[in-house]
Structure 1
């Protein structure tokens, strides 16, 4: 991507985008941005301040047009001379009122505010601070570009690492396209054979063929579909810890700078992509031991301007911002901290998954004695890294899924837990039902925030619109 293309992508995203291309059923349509409430004169001025700061940050960073570890959150302007007020944007009106009340009671202008006991907020990253999942996007980006630092033997070992043999869950659809069981040992053998061919032939590994020629091969087609199928099947068939660690092991052999450069490129590419679900079918010419499978990936990422602005507002009101993510911490640090994206979260404020490093490179081993930062583990991480040092829990928590359900409800110091409403069941479904019962309450402990998955934009409602649908819904 050129400097100009990258700048255009991020400027369009920063402005909210009045026309976002989306592909549904093979047709391209234009989706208008959701209408905002008419802001008051004061909120317009505040909005302009958010905008000017975002423009300055994005313009300066994009001049480099590439990842650089020096372009970190420290490059983003710090707290304002005067505290910002929360602009309505596309927040539910009930949520604007609730968040403003929390700021008035706990922010820097409150008589009860104590600088030596600064409040803090914790945000989930994927599908909360952004639309879609940056690490799953990175998995597809890595597959598409064959960005590996692995010999065939090393690749083969990671392919099977921690995953039991046997069939994946057929009841959840993890079968061949003609309904036959898919066994881990069979699909792993097929993907291993594909990678051996790709490694021997691609000039970026050990061969001499360019990537565009490689991508036209049956081996690549088989590799992409079956490897992504494996990720989904592993996550849904086995405890989530197996799949969430497995996706990170593919970074083995990379330095931190190499991984973060790849993550930066993936972020920019996905911000410029349409929000579209694409189904990839494996090669019919090379069925292998498994047969033919299909895997669907949700392409595209969107910045949630309302989340980015509320982070800025919190900091300006003396409230610190932290991220708790179930992705690798170094991957999320690129999106959360690089000035190109405008969130301004320092690297040390990101709590996530961690890999072992040896000789400056990642190893396919989860860091010993580091908690698994998902579900109850996010509460463990907050208590370990924040509450134990500060002496108190988070004032605000933002999340969207079962991975966040516990931290949304576990801390007595939390005034409000904000749920980006994806109409899920499970643990987050329990939290969501409690939030639905409290809609409009002045002291609501949990609130729902709506989003339109077709545009990637929040909507001024508690209800959300699923991708490919038009009608908003409140609960699963």
Structure 2
């Protein structure tokens, strides 16, 4: 990994130092990778900055602006114009280079890369028997009922560390698929319990944790094969996985590719912040011009032999290997602040000052609500009818929320109101309550007004 060569601004360093707390030593080895922080320079003239010389007065424009709903393209363009390099005085760059953050699944693409990778692995015998045939070693939050169901279905089929024959053994494939899709066993028992539901979705983390025993390079090769198959499959195609019929295709949204390319031209650095494993995002990101140094996902520590350990990189004062936080809701904010800005300790869980927040943030689900709310220029939302996110989006407290139907197969109008005033918010313990604005006031119930047509 390249060493970061540019020095962070003194103001950012003071924030990071104030936020830093002493943490325990890593449980295992270093994380699988360490993305470089956003390039930050002092706010003084920099004569060698290429963008400062001869840059056009007019910022790069969205080429597919007409494909966006309503005035969304105008809201996005305004944010680009205000933060992009064409707004900088000649010979000057900002103290913190502007950046944007995007969820991946169903935001930059249609459908889900974790789903498609797991489906591919089940169809090609790529899931490994865990150590000791004990599925509790794949998640700290796995229940005894979940571990026993997997042991009964899969435990006798392969030695630890060897591939399970899920292509032909339907019972094992179905049990694994049920964990991924429903977080329950095939008989309806809960598979996970005890996670902080603002920091962790245990079933999402589990997708990465069952990769333990592979190297990151091997996981990327698996993800690349799944990607090829999903892009090749026609829109609407299905596939047989165990006894189930599942979606078989993925498509990049041209509009999101255009947005990311426009941001880059304007000097606004785009990052992917995914609740899928980082190795999966590394494979998919280049399709929109985002390299692996700008992808943040579920990231594991490595064993001394270079293989994934099943234990996760920490954030927000939760140490490496505690497996207590991932890129999920407030965890997304934490990893943005830690990875992009270099803020550590509990401070990383909190919203940063406006000057350090993303210019643009895009998402489609409650998974993304904290990072999307943090954006200072525009909050881009693809409507998938997810309560908490859509409550904030329709409330539109700052007038900068750009709600769009999905670009492919958009959902029809939700007939009932979003229950913003009663149950849209889910706390760390899984309890439901009202969604609130930054000032603590309760968001009233909202109608669904931005939707697709049959």
TM-score normalised to structure 2 length: 0.64
Unpaired runs of 5+ residues, structure 2, are: 1-49, 185-189, 344-351, 412-447
Q: 1:349 aligns with which of 270, 294, 299?
A: 294
Q: Distance in 1 between matches of 2:245 and 2:401?
A: 32
Q: Quick check: 1:249 aligned with 2:204?
A: no
The residue that corresponds to 1:263 in the other structure is 223
Structure 1 range deviating more: 147-156 or 184-193: 147-156
Q: What SS class does the counterpart of residue 84 from structure 1 fall into? A: coil
Q: Write the mapping of 1:12-91 to structure 2, written as runs, cut at 5 A.
A: 84-87=60-63, 88-91=65-68
Pair 1:140–1:274, CA change in 2 (3 A)? same
The residue that corresponds to 2:361 in the other structure is 397
8 Å Cα contact 2:130/2:137 also seen in 1: no
The residue that corresponds to 1:430 in the other structure is 391
Q: Write the mapping of 1:212-227 to structure 2, written as runs, cut at 5 A.
A: 215=167, 217=168, 220-227=169-176
Q: Write the mapping of 1:162-311 to structure 2, written as runs, cut at 5 A.
A: 162-166=141-145, 184=146, 187-193=149-155, 196-197=156-157, 199=158, 215=167, 217=168, 220-234=169-183, 238=193, 239=195, 241-276=201-236, 297-311=246-260
* Displacement after TM superposition at 1:463 (Å): 3.1
Q: Distance in 1 between matches of 2:256 and 2:139?
A: 38
Pair 1:452–1:383, CA change in 2 (3 A)? closer
Q: Distance in 1 between matches of 2:218 and 2:94?
A: 38
Pair 1:406–1:160, CA change in 2 (3 A)? closer
The residue that corresponds to 1:180 in the other structure is none
How many residue pairs are counted as aligned between the two chains? 332
The residue that corresponds to 2:93 in the other structure is 115
The residue that corresponds to 1:101 in the other structure is 78
The structure richer in helix per residue is: 1
Q: RMSD of the alignment, in Å?
A: 3.5
* Displacement after TM superposition at 1:453 (Å): 4.5
* Displacement after TM superposition at 1:397 (Å): 0.6
TM-score normalised to structure 1 length: 0.61
Q: Write the mapping of 1:142-181 to structure 2, written as runs, cut at 5 A.
A: 142-150=121-129, 153-154=132-133, 156-158=135-137, 162-166=141-145
The residue that corresponds to 1:406 in the other structure is 370
8 Å Cα contact 2:383/2:450 also seen in 1: yes
Q: Write the mapping of 1:363-374 to structure 2, written as runs, cut at 5 A.
A: 363-368=309-314, 369-370=319-320, 371-374=325-328
Q: 1:361 aligns with which of 307, 311, 315?
A: 307
Pair 1:185–1:315, CA change in 2 (3 A)? closer
Q: What SS class does the counterpart of residue 115 from structure 1 fall into? A: coil
* Displacement after TM superposition at 1:428 (Å): 1.1
Pair 1:110–1:81, CA change in 2 (3 A)? closer
Pair 1:454–1:409, CA change in 2 (3 A)? closer
